[in-house]
């Protein structure tokens, strides 16, 4: 088992035991570990999905602690990164394809979160615009 996997398991276990500061630390360590590995193999979609998952775990943790701004921030980070990858020419078509498909996965929690916690009008409009763009640009599989 990879170190990042153990860290996520420990983070989830700590979260389930309501040991939130410890869970937070494990999730941050997992992200650091995943970022290091993902940089070495940016085409590895398993590392990418685990990285996104760790950020979403932190968002849930901050929401549980009554910190919606922090939670929203941790939902935005992977979404923004996927958008950047999908738009940059330096990356392979395969990675851009994965990033484009993943955009929908990172957008949905942002939209759901903005329904629970009021977002500024500009933020909400931006998310809705992004939803239209993401839905229109999703690759069709045959």
Checking 112-121 for CB contacts under 8 A at 24+ apart, the result is 113/59, 113/63, 113/68, 113/71, 113/72, 113/75, 114/72, 116/68, 117/68, 117/72, 119/72
| Interval 41-86: pLDDT, tens | 988 999 999 999 999 999 999 999 999 999 999 999 999 999 999 9
What is the reported pLDDT for 114? 87
User: Is the pTM value of this prediction over 0.85?
Assistant: no
Residue 142 scores a pLDDT above 70: no
Yes or no: say if 20 and 59 are a contact pair by the CB < 8 Å rule: no
Among 1.10.1200, 1.20.1250, 1.25.40, 1.20.120, what is the CATH number of 3-137? 1.25.40
């Amino acid at each position: 088992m990879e170190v990042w996997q153990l860290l996520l398991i420990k983070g989830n276990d700590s979260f389930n035991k309501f040991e939130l500061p410890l869970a937070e630390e494990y999730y941050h360590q997992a992200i650091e570990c995943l970022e290091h590995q993902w940089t070495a193999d940016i085409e590895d979609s398993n590392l990418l999905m685990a990285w996104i998952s760790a950020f979403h775990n932190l968002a849930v943790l901050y929401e549980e602690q009554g910190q919606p701004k922090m939670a929203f921030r941790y939902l935005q980070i992977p979404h923004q990164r996927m958008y950047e990858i999908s738009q940059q020419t330096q990356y392979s078509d395969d990675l851009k394809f994965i990033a484009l498909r993943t955009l929908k996965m990172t957008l949905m929690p942002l939209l759901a979160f903005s329904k629970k916690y009021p977002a500024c009008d500009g933020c909400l409009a931006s998310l809705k615009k992004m939803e239209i763009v993401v839905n229109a640009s999703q690759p069709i599989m045959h």
